[in-house]
Structure 1
Amino acid sequence: MKRLIVAEKPSVARAIARAVGADREEDGFLEGERDVVTWCRGHLVELSPPDRYPEWAGRWNPDDLPMVPEEWLWEPSEEDGAARQLGIVTSLMGRGDVAELVNACDADREGEGIFRRVLSHAGCPKPALRFWSTALTPEAVERDLAAMRPLSDYDGLADAAEGRAKADWLVGLNATRAYASLYGAQLTAGRVQTAVLSLVVERTRAARSFEAVPFWLVEADLGGFAAESGRFGSREEAEAAAEKVRAAGTAAVEAAERREERPKAPPPYDLTALQRDAAKRCGLTADETLKALQSLYERGLVTYPRTESRRILESDAEDASRALAQIARPEVAGAAAEAFDMGRASVRAIIGDSEVSGHGAIVPTRMMDAQAFGRLEGRERRVALLVCCRLLSATMPPAARRRTKIVARAGGVELRASSCETLEASWEAVEDACAAMLGGESARGAGRGGAPIPEDVARGGALGLGGVEVKRGETSPPKPYTEDGLLEAMQHAGRLIGDADLRAAIDDDSSHSGGLGTPATRASIIEKIIGRGYAERKGRAIVSTPDGEALVDLVDEGLKSPELTARWERALSLVERGEMPLGDFMSRIECYTREVVAAAKESFDPARTVRRRAEEAGACPRCGSPVVRTGGVYQCSSNRSRREEDGSWTLTAGCGFKLFPTVAGKKLTGSQVEKLLSGETVRAKGLRSRKGSSFEAGLRLSPGGEVELVFGERRRKDGPAPSKQRIRSCQNDIK
């Protein structure tokens, strides 16, 4: 008899398969003498949308709200290929020679939910175990397979996953339908998206309404270093003070303070910290960083990417030590390796079992050697360099700095100066070398100060004055969010909450992601509010649009605050521990949903207008009608469908054109879809073959609406057509 191991992603499944010897590749799974290994490709089973319920299908009407299902419907995901993979997994679960199941989906609430929904869909009663993986090296997989626990030990986690999914459905979809139907506009609202958008709107408005206030100050040269006065409200006041300083000739030192600091090295990255550094140093968006990191993970070069831990387990120390030896070479880490001192480094510095939740920090694996690193290009190479350099610096001893502050007085005018000197660079030298190679911000540039203040400057001494001048400045407006800043605000949303209990609930990441969103979804949340026209990028800044501000002005106050997430997490933690029945949690959510709908209706003002955003992407290649985005799919606006008694869908009108934006494992941007619909050939990198290898090709639409992969040179007017491969991307069962 065999056991069936179900991973969340193909990459994880292949790593497990290598460890257990399941080397025979089949359609959608791998098989060996003892084990069958397959994958879920993310969410294969999802909650059905409101249109699947007869009472809420068709035109949106506020009188039909709130929508609270008496019996919840689940269905296969609409993502391209999901239904097919679901069929493969359920068929494997039912095989007569499979005696035991293993849930190898991600070690968190979401991963638990993914497996349980497939298990329920299959109706499989076979015994099951839970596998929690911290890395994909063969040694780590073998170790974690030997430490599996019964699936029933995680029933509370599964209930919390179900409660979270249903709660988001109830609140998000009811709020969306309420505001969209009342105002006749294409609006979307939800617990996380609206709270994040509210942050952006608040910051954008604060910057817009800010009025700069000018000020003047006196700057004096005190013998090789500069000192400044306080601010003056007028140039006349500042000039008068400068004259007094010049007339004095010397400055008397009234106070001198020196202290040494020994700052510890930053720990290895979690996903959000890596996304923030990649934004600052490489100019990458959070989504670009995640995609590059996922590719590195699938190659076995780094550990699990979607983690919130910044320490590793004691059991992973040996692997980390081997990886450290591989990357501490100029061929991998360049100048950072030259600044690194293996004789002073210790992997013990990054171990912390109590600080690891599910997966350890992101670190290179022992497979990240010079040869593997040399094959990397573009974003993958830059992200790999960040991960490698951080492991080098994180294992180094503390640096040493000396900070000096003095207060002097000349002609009755107080002057202040400060400096920061590096006594021992240690890990800071590694981080600075990494920043220099990437051409971005230094890890410690701000705050190191200018010219050092000499050691002989002491209280009671006198300093000769050099040049004295008046400088003008202005108060600065609040800076708009950058990718880095918005990720930080989402991760640490608890800082915006006054109640200590609620703050602790949203920050608790023992079984769920702390803050707003998860490491895996924060990038997509930012892209959604931008893609829906609620925010936009201006350089590296993210600012709100008039549409986004109008939406925030409309929605209920509760949806704008991270306190809603905090209250949910406090209750879901009780569900997970078995201290609150799932039914009690859902009753609370249903009550709140009714309040949200009632508030939308009561606050409705027909005099207020919201611009209707038609998300048209282009003309249908089949019939010429507008192609619109509906959820995550682009389809012809002429399409109409009907649900049959057996649950299937029949196209009742329209041409049936449908385009899934994910092609060969790569998600296309809205701009790329628009170019395809306009007849252009789009060059795409990072496409994935069925075997997981990366390739580049052109994409274009055939006259029938199918995506074609175009290889070789672009077509010339007088030349031969390039080779092409057709991918099915449209279906007749439009939903």
Structure 2
Amino acid sequence: MKLVLAEKPSVGAELARVLGAKQKHNGYFEGNGYVVTWSLGHLLTLKMPEQYHPEWAEWTFDTLPLIPQKLETTPLKQTRKQLAVVKALAKRADISEAIIATDAGREGELVARYIFNYLNFSKPLKRLWISSQTDRAIRDGFDHLASAKQYDNLYQAALARAEADWLVGLNVSRALTIKYDDSLSAGRVQTPTLAFVANQEQKRNQFKPESFAVVTVQTALGKATLKQQYAADKAKQVAASLNQQPLKVTAIKVKQQREQAPLPFDLNELQQVANQKFGYSPKQTLNYLQNLYEREKAVTYPRTDSRYLTTDLKATMADRLQAIRRYHDESIKNPTLPKYVYNDAKVGDHYGLIPTEQAVDPAKLDRDELNIYRLIVGRFIDLFKPAYEAEQLTYTLSAGDLTLTLKTVSVIQPGFKAVEKNQAAKLSIGETITGNASVEMKQTQPPALLNEASLLGKMEQFGLGTPATRADIIDKLQNSGSMAKQGRDLTVTPKGKQLLKLVNPRLVSPDLTAKWESSLKAIEAGKLSRTTFIDEIKTETKALVLEVKQSQAKYEDHSVTGKLCPDCGQNLREKQTKQGVLLVCNNCGYKRYRDPKVTNHRCSQCHKKMVILTGSKGDYFKCLNCGNTEAMSQAKGNKKMNKREEQRLLKKYSQDEEPAESPLAAALKAAMKQD
């Protein structure tokens, strides 16, 4: 029997179906020579400090920096049950080898290796590496399994990244929390990302607009613009002198334009376009894309950083076009892509995002998934269309000592662009043209604030994060209260601005992350050892902690309110969540929403939605429309509820709160309770 480890139950079920493992058990499938199980994402994580030494549980500078002799893993509490299933299967005597079938990337490799190393698995280990979830791709992948040893360097790079983030992130965050008595989190990716937003906001705030006048002449061929700029009064005089005055052609510049269709999307560009066109956050786009990849098998691997295709895909183009035939007309007869799309040297773990050979029924997709699918399909179809070709003529026109510029464009071949073919009229040297002159008053515009699309572009430019992690980093900054959204624009909160002043300057700059990423790629390529890299990180960690300890910077917690905790009397802090502002006590853990929380429970008098309020006897419903109040028990037919039933009712009538905290966040909170 061969043990197959997938990353998610849904993927495991699909692999089992294709492999013929039809017998369903608790946590795995079996049959046809295969046992297919899954990991539920990470089943293990790096140990927290107190798991190495009890004294490290105390949050003081005396224990910093925390640098274990060797970083070790420990099971996650919430997934222990599934880890036990995998362990039992791995110990079975009839298992001859194991196959890693987690996501084909750096993090997927780490998920699997953590597990097999923890279980001391000593039998042969192989690797499934596929870029789509179609039946054909899965079968072909299992027919061409590689030895896991071929991916040892990838695992070493993934492990190096995880260990470095633990050493720097945990030590600096703990140092900041101890120093300033508030849960402050910093890291080599999230901090420079926050700095990008802050710097752009500062540029906008410091911008001073300037007014200027532009003189134009509307001619039969288009708008001619005067090169000089004037004050308003002078511009009006110039416009009056140019009105219907002959403009003589003194020079013509001809430019032939030829533009090929853009390459397929990588994840970063798709997230940018989806944000600009539909307002989706990077995380939303990735979620929709993941559904299209796993559930519908309609697109190739989502977390790709390449826009090129490999040459071995040429034979599949006809089938891919057939699968998306409802999205294009019959004019595409030749299923051959131009040569510039194929470049094996520029494809890393995965090629660009394109449709699979699996046809998809649009009726089965929700609107958002369909929007993302149409973007990918549209970009793919454009590749089969001719290049856009046009001729641009730039005329230099003169009227006395004044010089104007006029541009015309003749579209020779629309190609992949949705424009009409046209032939603009042409002028010759010495010809004249007239038109109506006018003055346009304009003002210099401030630089735009960053939005999620432009922030993704900055992160990619400076090598911050990976296509798989950037969405989570942006989400984390918002959830931590360091960054906020105003419409589609991103701004830095008072807490975030202070954090940037308190944290080490090296963590604010993207240079450190760029250096790390270069080292990680060298580890993947076998040109640098993980040990050498981690030794450098340990030295860096010691210096960073010392800088925080010796800092003279002052901190003011803007989240502290004048409201007191009803349980312990401490001042409550505000925390921004997707469901509203929470008032949280860092001392005892008490929390409630600052504003009344609207539920789906209807008032028995006026049938409007009611809010949940908290009184001396606990939570109750109130109608803000007519003032009617109802005890929680009334919603259950006046039956007295126990605590579990009350919580279940609250969950039913209210939206879910924020997701579970990470171990680091929990540790930060625990530290604040000790004060």
**TM-score over 0.5 (shorter chain):** yes
- Residue 643 of structure 2 aligns with which residue? 703
Residue 693 of structure 1 corresponds to which residue in structure 2?
Answer: none
Q: Cα 1:638–1:399, aligned 2, differ >3 Å: closer, same or farther?
A: closer
**8 Å Cα contact 2:572/2:583 also seen in 1:** yes
Matches within 5 A, 1:171-320: 171-230=168-227, 232-246=229-243, 249-299=245-295, 300-320=297-317
What CA distance in whole angstroms lies between the structure 2 residues aligned with 1:405 and 1:705?
Answer: 75
Which of 521, 528, 535 does residue 476 from structure 2 map onto?
528
Tell me, yes or no, if the aligned pair for 2:308 and 2:343 is still in contact at 8 Å. Answer: yes
Q: 2:165 aligns with which of 163, 168, 178?
A: 168
Letter aligned with residue 214 of structure 2: L
Counterpart of 2:247, as a letter, is A
Deviation (angstroms), 1:47 = 0.9
Q: Which residue identity is paired with 2:16? A: A
For 1:67, the equivalent position in structure 2 comes to: 66
- Structure 1 residues 219 and 83, CA gap change in structure 2 (3 angstroms): same
CA drift of 1:35 comes to 0.9
Task: Tell me how far 1:710 sits from its aligned partner.
Answer: 11
Q: Deviations over 1:79-125 (max 9, x none)?
A: xx422222222221111111101112222222221111111111221
Task: Measure, in 2, the Cα distance between the counterparts of 1:20 and 1:230.
Answer: 70
Q: Is 2:351 the partner of 1:360?
A: yes
Cα distance change on mapping 1:401 and 1:33 into 2, 3 Å: same
Structure 2 match to 1:609? 556
Q: What is the match of residue 602 of structure 2?
A: none
Letter in 2 for 1:609: E
Task: Quote the offset at 1:171 in angstroms.
Answer: 0.9
String of CA shifts for 1:123-162, please: whole Å, max 9, x gaps. Answer: 2211101221121112212222222222222222222211
Instruction: Say whether the 8 Å CA contact 2:321–2:335 is kept in structure 1.
Output: no
Say if 1:547 and 1:611, in contact at 8 Å, map to a contact too.
yes
Tell me the SS of whatever aligns to 1:258. Answer: strand
Written as runs of structure 1 = structure 2, the 5 A alignment for 1:246-645 is 246=243, 249-299=245-295, 300-329=297-326, 333=327, 337-338=328-329, 341-347=331-337, 350-369=341-360, 372-429=361-418, 454-464=424-434, 466-493=435-462, 515-606=463-554, 608-612=555-559
Q: Tell me the secondary structure at the aligned position of residue 36 of structure 2.
A: strand
- Structure 2 gaps of 5+ residues are 591-610, 622-640, 654-659, 668-675
Residue-pair matches, total: 610
CA distance in 1, matches of 2:94, 2:411: 66
CA 523–231 in structure 1, closer or farther in 2 if over 3 Å, else same: farther
1:321: Cα distance to partner?
Answer: 2.5
Change (3 A) 1:613 1:406: farther
Residues 207-227 of structure 1: per-residue CA shift (max 9 Å, x gap):
111111111110111224111
Shift of residue 358, structure 1, vs aligned partner: 1.9
8 Å CA contact 1:303–1:362 kept in 2: the answer is yes
Q: Which amino acid aligns with 2:265?
A: Y
Q: How far 1:57 sits from its partner (Å)? A: 4.5
User: In structure 1, how many angstroms separate the alpha carbons of the residues matched to 2:61 and 2:577?
Assistant: 20
Residues 1:631 and 1:62: Cα distance change in structure 2 (over 3 Å): farther
Q: Quick one: structure 1 residues 638 and 461, their matched pair in 2 at CA, closer, same or farther if it must change by over 3 Å? A: closer
Distance 1:708 1:315, change over 3 A: farther
C-alpha distance in 1, partners of 2:319/2:613? 46
Q: Distance in 2 between matches of 1:25 and 1:706?
A: 36
- The C-alpha deviation readout for 1:271-305, integer Å capped at 9, x for no partner, is 11211111122221111111111111222222221
Counterparts of 1:702 and 1:127 in 2: how far apart (Å)? 53
Q: Is the 8 A contact 1:320 1:364 kept in 2?
A: no
SS at match of 2:397: strand
Task: State how far apart, in whole Å, the 1-side matches of 2:118 and 2:359 are.
Answer: 40
> Residue 8 in 1 paired to residue 7 in 2?
yes
Distance 1:288 1:679, change over 3 A: farther
2:214 touches 2:440 (CA, 8 Å); kept in 1? yes
Contact 2:310–2:347 (8 Å) recurs in 1: yes
In structure 1, C-alpha distance between the alignment counterparts of 2:406 and 2:317, rounded to whole Å: 44
TM-score (norm 2): 0.82
Q: Aligned in 2, Cα 1:611/1:67: closer, same or farther, shift over 3 Å? A: farther
Partner of 2:30: 31
Distance 2:225 2:584 in 1: 65
Query: 1:225, 1:25 → 2: CA distance?
Result: 71
2-side partners of 1:68 and 1:322: how far apart? 54
- Cα separation, partners in 2 of 1:384 and 1:598, compared to 1, 3 Å: same
- Structure of greater Rg: 2
CA contact (8 A) 1:215 1:231 kept: no
1:682-697 counterparts in 2 under 5 A?
A: none
Task: Answer whether contact 1:619 1:626 (CA < 8 A) is retained.
Answer: no
Cα contact 2:41–2:111 (8 A) shared by 1:
yes
SS of match in other structure, 1:37: strand
2:24 alignment partner, SS class: strand
TM-score for both structures, normalised by structure 1: 0.75
Q: Mark the CA change 1:459 to 1:188 in structure 2 (over 3 Å): closer, same or farther.
A: farther
Which amino acid is the alignment partner of residue 262 of structure 1?
R
- Tell me: CA distance 1:156–1:709, structure 2 relative to 1, closer, same or farther (3 Å): farther
- Displacement, 1:573? 3.1
Alignment partner, residue 124 of structure 1: 121
Post-superposition offset of 1:364: 2.1
**CA 1:626–1:100: 2 relative to 1, 3 Å:** farther
Deviations 1:688-716 (A, max 9, x none): xxxxxxxxxxxxx98328975999xx99x
Which AA in structure 1 matches 2:442?
Answer: G
Q: Percent identity?
A: 30
Shift of 1:400: 1.6
> Residue deviations 1:189-223, cap 9 Å, x none?
10110011010100011011111111111011122
CA displacement at 1:550 relative to structure 2:
1.6
Report Cα offsets for 1:606-644 as digits up to 9, x if no partner: 4x4343469x9x999xxxx99999999xx998999xxxx
Aligned equivalents of 1:679 and 1:209: distance in 2? 48
Deviations along 1:498-517, one digit per CA (max 9) or x if unpaired, are: xxxxxxxxxxxxxxxxx211
**Secondary structure at 2:252 match in 1:** strand
Cα separation, 1, equivalents of 2:469 and 2:228: 45
Structure 1 residues 27 and 222 mapped into 2: Cα distance closer, same or farther (>3 Å)?
A: same
The aligned counterpart of 1:508 is none
Aligned partner of residue 37 in structure 2, secondary structure:
strand
List alignment gaps of at least 5 residues for structure 1: 433-447, 494-514, 641-652, 656-673, 681-700, 716-728
CA distance 1:629–1:483, shift in 2 (3 Å): closer
Report the secondary structure of 1:362's partner residue: coil
| 1:75 counterpart SS class | strand
SS at match of 2:644: coil
Root mean square deviation, CA, Å: 3.8
